[in-house]
Structure 1
């Protein structure tokens, strides 16, 4: 299936292709496949939901850092919109958690898992040490990868719909609103690259993308195994 994320001319696609094996491990992880066929243990999904809320707190900080790192008002507005979008998503996330019997206190009182710390702090470190292109590269496996996963699952005839407790999750990340935001992320990376990219940076950017992708795999592992 061809998606809006398969344009070979985008920097995003080139970075994704450079770590194809890790990307496959991320997008076809056992956790993802359990969501697709509805067999993921409910306690694993609840653990993931709680950690994902804590994750979003740090990702909102990362996009706030992107505002600071931006050099133009257009870039600042784009990053600011992302901050607002994540903060809004966090409210929806709490509503979703409530449907699974998890109160706001249940979520915010959870200790942060090591896999969560490793991933979010890595993204913030890349933003602090590098420029806004480094930061947006580190953010993109999550910001775009979830849309790729959701879009694939929602269009796959093998995905279980009726009676799948995770169908709403699939609809969210494979839906028009989230996919549209992910497309904007890909476009934003190309816009940033227009004034900041050189071939000499390619290895570094691909390394950042690869490490963030591997940390996504670790996040799925954490959810599946319910580790802290």
Structure 2
């Protein structure tokens, strides 16, 4: 079993909690209150900018041209995601320059600290859970999604072959780059915990118009 697959399977408890989270389920049913999705989009835009910076630091630490090429592709994928968020902002009035919520700030601080201070093999262990989780949730939700859900585009994006290819690209780096096993496992689990906290923060968001 590859390192990426072993780490994923070792943390299926957190994956199942993400699958069952009411925020995620509300995307599929279409019943998620709009203000909670808009809050999520805003916070995710902040997060993705930090994710892009972490990829850029990974590229700078890359030990060879092959790894540099992989990080370049992954970085481009983040900018594609940000364009999706620009579409949401135009339709629903999301602010893509928000103040970060505590859960968002904690997650981005974690990623950027690992990117700056840890070896690149540890960085990919901290970044892979986000990509694999979203590819998984897109595939998981697709057959369960109400065709009339206003969030169907989110599901289609993360269940696409293009996004799956990016997730596999990052997992290939996790399999190939050296790292200390215990540290990688801890970073992987921490990232999944941050993902769950991110969904919970969006679920708890209330209408800020009043």
Q: TM-score of the superposition, structure 2-length normalised? A: 0.92
Corresponding position of 2:64:
72
| Pair 1:107 & 2:76 matched | no
Q: How does 1:111-126 map to 2 (within 5 A)?
A: 111-126=99-114
Q: Could you list the per-position Cα deviations for residues 148-202 of structure 1 after superposition, in whole angstroms to 9, with x for gaps in the alignment? A: 1001111x3x3312x211111101111121112112222221122xxx14xxx22
The answer to which of 120-129 and 143-152 deviates more is: 120-129
Q: Quick check: 2:111–2:126 contact (8 Å CA) kept in 1?
A: yes
| Secondary structure class of the residue paired with 2:96 | helix
Corresponding position of 2:172:
187
Q: Could you list the per-position Cα deviations for residues 56-91 of structure 1 after superposition, in whole angstroms to 9, with x for gaps in the alignment? A: 110000000101111111111211222222123312
Corresponding position of 2:84:
92
Moved over 4 A (4+): none
Q: How does 1:17-166 map to 2 (within 5 A)?
A: 17-102=9-94, 106-108=95-97, 110-154=98-142, 156=143, 158-161=144-147, 163-166=148-151
Q: Could you list the per-position Cα deviations for residues 36-59 of structure 1 after superposition, in whole angstroms to 9, with x for gaps in the alignment? A: 111111110000001111111100
Q: Could you list the per-position Cα deviations for residues 104-159 of structure 1 after superposition, in whole angstroms to 9, with x for gaps in the alignment? A: xx321x211111110011111122232111101101111111001001111x3x33
Q: Report the Cα distance in structure 2 between the residues aligned to 1:209 and 1:27, rounded to whole angstroms.
A: 17
Q: Report the Cα distance in structure 1 between the residues aligned to 2:52 and 2:8, rounded to whole angstroms.
A: 23
Residue 29 of structure 1: how far off its partner (Å): 1.7
| Pair 1:207 & 2:186 matched | yes
Size of the aligned set, in residue pairs, is 207
Corresponding position of 2:153:
168
Q: Report the Cα distance in structure 1 between the residues aligned to 2:138 and 2:20, rounded to whole angstroms.
A: 11
Corresponding position of 2:203:
224
Give structure 1 stretches of 5+ with no counterpart. 1-8
Give structure 2 stretches of 5+ with no counterpart. none
| Secondary structure class of the residue paired with 1:165 | coil
Residue 98 of structure 1: how far off its partner (Å): 1.1
Q: Quick check: 1:124–1:135 contact (8 Å CA) kept in 2?
A: no
- Root-mean-square deviation (CA), in Å? 1.7
| Secondary structure class of the residue paired with 1:107 | coil
